[in-house]
Amino acid sequence: ERRCSSLQHKSALSACVTGQKQTNCHESWSLSPEEFEIWDRLYRIKESDGIKEPVLPRVQFETLENLEETPKEGAARELSLTEWSVWQNQPLPTSLVDHSDRCHLFIRAMEMMELMRHQQGDCSYEQELQPHLRMEDVNIPGNKRRGRCSR
Amino acid sequence: HPFLSPQDTVDRLLRLHFRDGRTRGTGAAAGGPGRAGPCRAPASRNRLVLAVNADAQLLMAELLKVFVREAAARAARQAQAEDLNKVDIEQLEKVLPQLLLDF
């Protein structure tokens, strides 16, 4: 039993290829028998390789109803987007594609968190912004006490 | 068909994920009326909601190539920076957050 079957969107080619002999179901969108042979030999992750199939984490909203069920991926290795967060407070090198605006925002936010990590007592960000607060700009909920930075 | 056609593959991959059955590639017949899908555009009632034409397929194929190359190049560069001669999953994980934000 191939592990590809645990993928949620079964890759079209494995669905095609594992079921029947690859020759009769080959269409121009899928691998040709020769290409399949190369993929199978060089790239396909097999049980004997001793490595887990990499999968991306699924989207999950903590405060909303989630439409997609989260499958239990026991045999897979979920790629982490947070494990190397210490690496993320500077732009990493690019090749052909430059960093986007939201990527730069992310890097700046990571930088800011790094700076605030060791802060104690009053929050410097709060102190910086507090003088500019105009009460008519904000919707004041029940209590009027200003919140403290809780980090 | 002796070889894989990038456009056909792209078209197939896109259609795997379209929510509305009437969102089609150029090869498919125009969709019939009825069955309002979630992404239906109001302007196109009885026609295709959105067609992936050949140019768009080519563009998408190119985009996917660029994405793959970018991921590979950045991970390779990360391996270089760590003085490794082999890219492992760790190097990919390090470049992944910024890579995904760029696409």
Give the pLDDT confidence of B56-66 residue by residue, as tens digits: 999 999 999 99
B103 touches chain A (CB under 8 A): yes
Encode pLDDT of A78-137 as tens digits. 999 999 999 999 999 999 999 999 999 999 999 999 989 888 888 889 999 999 999 999
User: Which residues of chain B neighbour A77 with C-beta distances below 8 Å?
Assistant: 89
The helix (H) or strand (E) run that includes residue A17 is helix A12-19
Encode pLDDT of B30-70 as tens digits. 344 434 444 444 444 455 555 688 889 999 999 999 999 99
User: Which residues of chain B neighbour A55 with C-beta distances below 8 Å?
Assistant: none
Binding-face residues of B in 50-79 toward A, CB within 8 A: 66, 69-70, 73-74, 77-78
Q: Tell me how close the Cα of A107 comes to any Cα of chain B, in angstroms.
A: 8
DSSP string, A100-137: PHHHHHHHHHHHHHHHHTT--SS-HHHHHHGGG--GGG
| Cβ atoms within 10 Å, residue A91 | 14
Q: Tell me how close the Cα of A100 comes to any Cα of chain B, in angstroms.
A: 5
Is B3 in Cβ contact with A94 (below 8 Å)? Answer: no
User: Which residues of chain B neighbour A26 with C-beta distances below 8 Å?
Assistant: 1
B38 touches chain A (CB under 8 A): no
Is B3 in Cβ contact with A35 (below 8 Å)? Answer: yes
Is A81 in Cβ contact with B100 (below 8 Å)? Answer: yes
Would the pTM count as exceeding 0.80?
no
Q: According to the model, what pLDDT value does residue A73 have?
A: 57
Q: According to the model, what pLDDT value does residue B3 have?
A: 61
Type of residue numbered A51: I
CA-CA distance, A65 to A38, in Å (whole number)?
A: 43
B95: nearest Cα among A93, A110, A56: A93
Q: According to the model, what pLDDT value does residue A140 have?
A: 77
Q: Which residues contact B5 (CB under 8 A, 6 or more apart)?
A: A28, A29
